[in-house]
Amino acid sequence: MAIGSKGLAPADLDGMDNDRLAQELEKAKAELFNLRFSAATGQLEDHGRLKAVRRDIARIYTIVRERELGIRTAPSTEK
């Protein structure tokens, strides 16, 4: 079983355009900051969530980099 958030599997990320990926990245970074803050103050209950969010961020960065290198292609915006 993969560790991470629902909706952020590589197949799901592949279907998102670059702007949506940037939004998801910012959201994940904000969540990671809040989790780290909670951990530092001793209020964090789900320590596994830290690992899951870090992996989500890494997945997003991987998809973005693969698109830059031409390994993956962004979804077409044609209707």
The per-residue pLDDT for range 12-65, each reduced to its tens digit, is 888 999 999 999 999 999 999 999 999 999 999 999 999 999 999 999 999 999
This prediction has a pTM of 0.87
State the CB neighbour count (10 A cutoff) for residue 13: 19
Distance, CA of 48 to CA of 55 (rounded, Å):
11
Q: DSSP H helical segments within 1-79, as ranges?
A: 10-14, 18-40, 48-69
